[in-house]
Structure 1
Amino acid sequence: MKYDFLIVGSGLFGATFANRAKAKGKTVLVIDKRNHQGGNIYCENVEGINVHKYGPHIFHTNDKTIWDFVNSFVEFNRFTYTPVANFKGDLYNLPFNMNTFYQLWKTKTPEEAKTIIDQQISENPISTPKNLEEQALSLVGKDIYLKLIKGYTEKQWGRKATELPAFIIKRLPLRFTFDNNYFNDKYQGIPIGGYNKLIDGLLEGIEVKLGVDFFEERERYKDLAHKIVYTGKLDEYFDYSLGHLQYRSLAFEHSVLDIENYQGNAAINYTDYDTPYTRIVEHKHFEFGKQTKTVITKEYPLEWSSEKEPYYPINDKRNEDLANQYKKLKEQESNVIFGGRLAEYKYYDMHQVIGAALNVAKKEFE
């Protein structure tokens, strides 16, 4: 039997496309080289807590169609992401809002906060920022930059802010209200019972094979189906023929603690350069857990190599140019659909991945 679709990767793009293909009566086989399905949104149950194994994922969107779509598989809770920044022991609310400005300067009105920010920007006027540091200083001034942006960004990218391109920061939203909600989207939450329930719902009734590396027997797997949906690394599909695309990677240090509540919040960012990790995540707070123990994760940014997991595409000129060359090769692959963060070499939020998969499926089946 030949399948209609072989889907390489069981993350959000692959699982969403598989679901839509099955709904249209198509035969589908999903393969994944990991020993679990769900890609980076996979959760591991530890002490009754859904641990976000590959970093925290908060679903947020303004698109009611996508919100209704995911809620048709699992109900989402009312979690609101309100991270806190720790700079050398002092705590600041994120995103930058009236609470943050009070913590920095004891300002109590929007006018007072705006005056200080405008004054700091005018002290070092930069008309054409040449790097990320100059861009940030021209947008928010020195206090916010030095305490809440510089160290975190340099850890995250493994480069000095003066060596990073200005376009990485197109804007830095300043919110002149006492509002700690990180996202502006209308809909936000976490699946009740964890993200595995969303993936299980999307892949219900679909054949999935785990621990299978597409590239070990590429020709055999290509012969299994009329069409391939590929969600892996773009350059790997073409055997790195034009060179390697670059990424930033992450390492996670998970700890089970014999206390009920470690930090009182789902995420605290460490924005000074000397703290080696960028944040500590306490997973039970995503689902308002009351367990007697807690699980925390320290997140360390890493320089990427082929043995490490690729997380963030590096959107500098060299990588953008190389990705565009690979995208020209994609156009020659008439029987392959490339989708998702790795196959498109593009940073996606979850709702964007699902939206892209739904659009591709709609186009395919119409």
Structure 2
Amino acid sequence: MYSYIIIGAGLFGATFANLAHKAGKKVLVIERRNHIAGNCYTENIEGINVHKYGAHIFHTSNKIVWDFVNSFTPFNRYTNSPIAKSKGNYYNLPFNMNTFYQIWKTATPEEAKAKMEEQKADILKLLNGREPANLEEQALSIVGRDIFEILIKEYTEKQWGRNCNDLPASIIKRIPVRYTFDNNYFNDLYQGIPSNGYTELVTKMLEGIEIRLNTNFFDHRSELENIAEKIIYTGPIDEFFNFCHGALDYRSLRFETEILDTDNFQGNAVINYIDANIPYTRIIEHKHFEFGNQPKTIITREYPQKWELNKERYYPINDQENNALYEKYKALAGQKTNVIFGGRLAEYKYYDMDDVIEQAMILFHTCNQ
């Protein structure tokens, strides 16, 4: 018997497995893919750590989480400072004094704040004290019409495949706005990327633990459920219950990666492409995550696409209908005494990486009080 069989070798599963192993528990990790590390998996190509499932920048203000990940591998000092390209012009992100100057030519915080209040006046009058009902109203109430039209609307509709007024306001509630010339996207105390890639991080987290790759839990379900005291399930919650209430909806992605015979393609790790007529949302140049000086470079174009059952799930669509459906599955999950559900797919929730690790820590300590 195993103390825990953990379904999924991403950050949630790896964190729980590591803590359980250190506590002397017998652990087995099951992973349907041919590699560990989930969506933060990196593969070394041409001496460059390529983020195979999109850009992953680790950031947190939780020192316990930061010390935990740094105990396995050193992190570099990478600071996330993406650029947006709209109608042939380049803009700094997040929205800050550089962005405001690029759009309005405002030179001081006072000028920028006055312009922002002017931009927001119409929507605030329309809302008349009520909460924004959709993403468009939410964005307009935060940054006003110009920034919404130039940097948000087309990109968001391309990313989600829906009109902004058909998307929940929650998607954009935490959009950062700064009245400083600071291009650091995150406000967290700690930020960086594992110096040798995320795969090495997770490899070290899982040292000494039995792992079965290329193994679909559902193909071996009866066997696995009979040899575990507890199952930690990090997969899609609707699939666990055989989609009995229907499938939860997601947004998926397709990646197109290319090796280029040049040492520097775009001069930044991430550039967002706002315009609707450009089919991809961003280009990632992987070497810049690690300040690389290799003779070649590798880029990845990221194409949003409709999710179907044979595609990877990336972003949950947390609208009213899907959240209500999730609650039905959550109720079923609550009836399972030997299965614990955790992580973004099992909880139908978008998590940053530090939040995933923190939640796995909390779950482990809850299970082992």
- For 1:238-317, list aligned pairs within 5 A: 238-317=241-320
Aligned partners of 1:194 and 1:338: how far apart in 2? 27
Answer whether contact 1:139 1:171 (CA < 8 A) is retained: no
Residue identity matched to 1:213: N
Aligned partners of 1:171 and 1:203: how far apart in 2? 33
- For 1:24-103, list aligned pairs within 5 A: 24-103=23-102
SS of the counterpart of 1:328? helix
Answer whether contact 2:168 2:318 (CA < 8 A) is retained: no
After TM superposition, give the deviation of residue 62 of structure 1 in Å. 0.3
Answer whether contact 1:248 1:311 (CA < 8 A) is retained: yes
Residue identity matched to 1:215: F
SS of the counterpart of 2:220? helix
Aligned partners of 1:189 and 1:338: how far apart in 2? 29
Question: What is residue 126 of structure 1 aligned with on the other side?
Answer: 126
Answer whether contact 1:10 1:32 (CA < 8 A) is retained: yes
2:357 matches 1:359: no
Aligned partners of 2:52 and 2:315: how far apart in 1? 16
RMSD: 1.1
SS of the counterpart of 2:126? coil
SS of the counterpart of 1:135? helix
2:146 matches 1:143: yes
Residue identity matched to 1:182: Y
Number of residue pairs the alignment of both structures matches: 365
The runs of 4+ residues in structure 1 deviating greater than 6 Å are none
2:190 matches 1:187: yes
After TM superposition, give the deviation of residue 364 of structure 1 in Å. 1.4
Question: What is residue 238 of structure 2 aligned with on the other side?
Answer: 235
After TM superposition, give the deviation of residue 225 of structure 1 in Å. 1.5
The C-alpha deviation readout for 1:255-314, integer Å capped at 9, x for no partner, is 000000011111000112111111000000111111000000000111100011000111
The C-alpha deviation readout for 1:149-207, integer Å capped at 9, x for no partner, is 00111011100112223333324332000000000000000001100111011100001
The C-alpha deviation readout for 1:68-126, integer Å capped at 9, x for no partner, is 00000001110000000000210000000000011111111011111212112224532
Which stretch shifts more, 190-199 or 121-130? 121-130
Answer whether contact 1:24 1:365 (CA < 8 A) is retained: no
After TM superposition, give the deviation of residue 363 of structure 1 in Å. 1.4
Question: What is residue 158 of structure 1 aligned with on the other side?
Answer: 161
SS of the counterpart of 1:141? helix
Aligned partners of 2:70 and 2:164: how far apart in 1? 40
Aligned partners of 2:290 and 2:142: how far apart in 1? 35
Residue identity matched to 1:93: N
Unaligned runs of 5+ in 2: none
Question: What is residue 204 of structure 1 aligned with on the other side?
Answer: 207
Question: What is residue 16 of structure 2 aligned with on the other side?
Answer: 17
After TM superposition, give the deviation of residue 224 of structure 1 in Å. 2.2
Question: What is residue 343 of structure 1 aligned with on the other side?
Answer: 346
Unaligned runs of 5+ in 1: none
Aligned partners of 2:37 and 2:176: how far apart in 1? 32
- Percent identity, aligned pairs only, is 61
Aligned partners of 2:62 and 2:170: how far apart in 1? 27
Answer whether contact 1:60 1:188 (CA < 8 A) is retained: yes
Residue identity matched to 2:238: D
Answer whether contact 1:277 1:298 (CA < 8 A) is retained: yes
Question: What is residue 114 of structure 1 aligned with on the other side?
Answer: 113
